[in-house]
Structure 1
Amino acid sequence: MKNPGLREARRRESDKQRDWFFWRQKRGVVVAGRMSAEEGKKVAQWAQTLGWPLIGDVLSQTGQPLPCADLWLGNAKAVTELQQAQIVVQLGSSLTGKRLLQWQATCEPEEYWVIDNIEGRLDPAHHRGRRLVAKIADWLELHPAEKRKPWCVEIPRLAELAWQRVVAQRDTFGEAQLAHRIRDYLPEQGQLFVGNSLVVRLIDALSQLPAGYPVYSNRGASGIDGLLSTAAGVQRASAKSTLAIVGDLSALYDLNALALLRQVSAPFVLIVVNNNGGQIFSLLPTPQSKRERFYLMPQNVHFDHAAAMFNLRYHRPENWEELELALASAWRTPATTLIELVVNETDGRADVAAASGAGKPSMMLHAQKMPGQSGMPWLVFPARFFLAIAASGSRSASSFTPVRGSILTYRDMADRRLSRSADLPMSSNYCALL
């Protein structure tokens, strides 16, 4: 009698696609999701040889050759150029960027292939294409690249321009700038663990991690639960120097896991970005009177006593120089150092208010035209930029209609407050939150 709790193993569909030699000569796009460091390097080389643009997730470890995708994907020229793709090959799952997910949901190439070692549904947009279950490295070996000239012209230019504009804002002491600078703080021959919520999204959109540098995360239905425990397990299994970055609520949810960090085999740095609660939820269209108590839930805590309770070294830098000194000291000692970055908790709300025309941005919220661009201004949210508005020219909130297959978190995110802004055109294409 068969055990109903067991499922018969499915056949691994790693066979060579017979028409690959045809498709590799076409205009293609490579989307890289979660994969190993070794796979990330191979995918980057594979895409470069094909001459196809590679849109890499923060967990792809591909080096993100086209950084700041969540910024330049909001540009009409980039979207238009991507529409010329005849095939999209997605390697790996668990994409982070909302603009990338939106483009994935609405793109209509002739072929869409998803390759991952994990079985099951990995394409939220349910494209009609090929779902191939295979190890990424094995699949690449069966489907070699052919040297071809890159076909995208605008996207590399837009990615470079986006990167330079982010670089120009790196001196301000804040969480967006930390996300951009994080590659400068990585330990040599070490590894990075990124938390959930706002942290991973900021790094995904504003930074460019080295190709093949190990990046770990614990993303899934568990949300922010157990992040410190996971980071401790990553360090214990690898015995490498580890940099972990989480938010203050994430740290509080797993505070007792600091006990696991009292004995480490290599330097371990835990950066806690303290914006006093779940500031990512400041982007939700919630009643102002209830937002702080029921959504942001500020805890008004600091972590110096927690570090002392578990006998961990502690720093609270107030500028980049102090942070760099604390890191330099931490990497010299095989112990755990907790570094708390206290940042302005109202930055997110200020930027959203600026987007609605109701206030001034906290840092640099621009609605500006890219060189040579017609139509919609390109919105840059260095602090909390996950409110994405694509071009259509319509200013009526009632005209907002999600495109078939879109993955909007909130249909009503075409908030009528946005339509009152004289500077920001509303979108009839898509609008993303978080």
Structure 2
Amino acid sequence: MDEHEQPRHRVVVIGAGFGGLFATKALKNAPVDVTLINGTAYHLFQPLLYQVATGILSEGEIAPPIREVLKRQKNAKTLLGTATHIDPVAKRVDVVAPGVAYSVEYDSLIVAAGASQSYFGKNEFADFAPGMKSIDDALELRGRIFGAFELAEIETDPAAIDRLLTFVVVGAGPTGVEMAGQIAELAHRHLPGQYHNIDPRQARIILVDALPTVLSTFGDHLSTEALRQLHKLGVEVELSTKVVDVDESGIEVETDNGRRRIESSTKIWAAGVAAPALSVQLAQATGAETDRAGRLKVNPDTTVPGHPEIYAVGDMMALDQLPGVAQVAIQSGRHAAGQIKKRLAGQPTGQPFKYFDKGSLATISRFSAVASVGRFHFAGLLGWLLWLVVHLLYLVGFKNRVTAVLHWFVSFIGRGRSERVATFQQVFARRALQEYQEKLP
């Protein structure tokens, strides 16, 4: 570099989810050097994790490598690691990766670290009821779901068979509804005829939620339609039902009629999200406030109060009661990138982030979904077609779209599941990962 040449503006982006990835791509032609830090080497299309868990898609189809996605963006580089500490005074991010720790300095910072699963203070539930936030979660659940049918086939105790063939999904939001619907389709449509000693159609799929409705954010009409479709699939829906305990062989729930136990070997947790630890650390370092979920209360332009160089976007920000959905992350990430470009161009900044709601979607079974788009509500086949188009649109990479369509064709038109491979390692690796993470500095 010439001694008179000014160094380029350094932008560090934490997280390669929807917010971080789209913020990075929005800076493609800006006079900046972007460093994208992520705990994995791939971008995860989280809304389709349940399809990995139920054998429809492979993990590679919803998780393209970040380097491949950004290979034509010359001003961006990717670093593997988990950001553990942000120093707003030194303008430095401390990062850890397997066997190494390092730091990255920034001029502007976009924090898009996403959200983690919340067990409402009962984190021990995670050992028995995995969430749906990562590829590891989805592969573990795939092993547990398909493994339950295999173990039931060789079991001789009727009580044990019933326990193995009882699947409990906690949380009746989009993820829980989609998960329950797909397990029901497995049991009633895809697996019958493949076992000699059990009938998969005898499986019980129970959807539990403390709220009085399913898909509560979709409105009464679509909520009622979703409930009708779930019942049609054979899903037992238990609403106004609070989970009070979870262990290896079952789950305890509480209703107005008292407390009771559901014997179940496979439990899936799809209820509640919480901000990551980095959100709390950044709040302490900057003096910013957080909401009950730990999300940062940001200014209208998504900057952290008192720090116009730091942006918190997506699931990490608390602003105008915006939901934790992909479109909020995408649009807020792009907004933060736009603010940085304006500041470097000498243009006024501070414009408030305006979210354009493109609607909410949830699929219940093949050819059946519900969609809420502004004043319009769709259910059944029309809702499913809209779901199909939207998810294809946001799948990153042409190859991913093609293979996803092929696997959807196999699953929705035929009676097969393309990805039923599961290993003991996937099922039992959670404890090893926890022990590894506990050793990190």
**TM-score with structure 1 setting the length:** 0.32
Higher relative contact order (CA 8 A, sep 6+): 2
**TM-score with structure 2 setting the length:** 0.32
Structure with a larger share of its residues in strand: 2
